Structure 1
Amino acid sequence: MGAMKGIPLGRFRMASKCYICKGTGLDICPRCNGNKKFNGETCPECNGRGIVKCYACGGRGIID
């Protein structure tokens, strides 16, 4: 039990999946809307991929 000394038992919450990306950590690019082009050029936000790291969870896929 010595290794568990500093952990406050009973205070943990289960992490839930992100409500924006549904746990994937990725989201559709808000600038080009997933089309990979913005004003006729490659989208600078997603670098032409159409997806970005989820802004709500930071790309982790879970919300603490």
Structure 2
Amino acid sequence: MGSTFNGLIGLIILALDIWAIVNVIKSNAESGIKILWILLIVLLPVIGLIIWALMGPRGSVRL
């Protein structure tokens, strides 16, 4: 049961990281800033995601 739970948490983190990267790419930030944010999210998946959620660039959201 433990490995199933860990796998599920890993998939959720992966999905959130992909979502964050897509939002960074869609944002109006400069290319260099986008690359730095993407590297932060890829190299530090959990911490990078938290930092991006607090301070990172966001893409335009359509509702």
Greater helix content? 2
Q: TM over 0.5: same fold? A: no
User: Structure 1-normalised TM-score?
Assistant: 0.29
User: Structure 2-normalised TM-score?
Assistant: 0.30
Query: Which one has the largest radius of gyration?
Result: 1
Greater strand content? 1
